[in-house]
Amino acid sequence: MTPDKAIVSILREQVNTYKTLLELLKKERVCLVDINPDKIEEISKEKDTVVMRLRLLEEERVRLIKKYSQDSGLTGSMNLEEMARHTGESTFSVLRSQMLSLLQSIEEMNRFNSILINRSLKYIKTTASFFNSFTANHISQTTGVLLSKET
């Protein structure tokens, strides 16, 4: 497989993995709305695995592009637009656009899920404070030391 074809293959795998991450974030949103902590924990573990995979794919993509640049006698780092111009293959531009779109969607979904989590935490704190207001007056505030009045 030629280096440019290997890069395209890695980019396609990245796009598919970003789609998987976006789907997980959508499932997470539903679980946050439904307040399903077990499913949220399960999705969180899946997200960790997907993010690790994305990190590895990105490292491989960078390595392949660097190797392609060196093999082609080019100096400096190349981005996907430069790859498209240099190879004459529009696939690089298409995959770049897909990744940018997916990354924007992931960012928006993360922001939305973060708001849901913050609201849930505020609700929990308010509820805990409400229950504490009932128990604060009925629980003895002593340290547990008894003093004798005989002396």
Q: What is the mean pLDDT of the chain?
A: 86
Cβ–Cβ < 8 Å for 101, 18: no
The CATH number assigned to the domain with range 3-110 reads: 1.20.58
Select the more confidently predicted residue: 150 or 104.
Answer: 104
Cβ–Cβ < 8 Å for 6, 64: yes
Lowest mean pLDDT among 27-31, 66-70, 109-113, 133-137: 133-137
Tens digits of residue pLDDT in 89-146 = 888 889 999 999 999 999 999 999 999 888 888 888 888 888 887 775 555 555 556 6
Q: Cα dihedral sign for 143, 145, 146, 148?
A: negative
Cβ–Cβ < 8 Å for 15, 95: yes
Q: What is the mean pLDDT of residues 24-47?
A: 92
Would you call 132 exposed, middle or buried from its count of C-beta atoms within 10 A (0-12, 13-18, 19+)?
Answer: exposed
- Whole-structure pTM value: 0.78
Cβ–Cβ < 8 Å for 19, 27: no
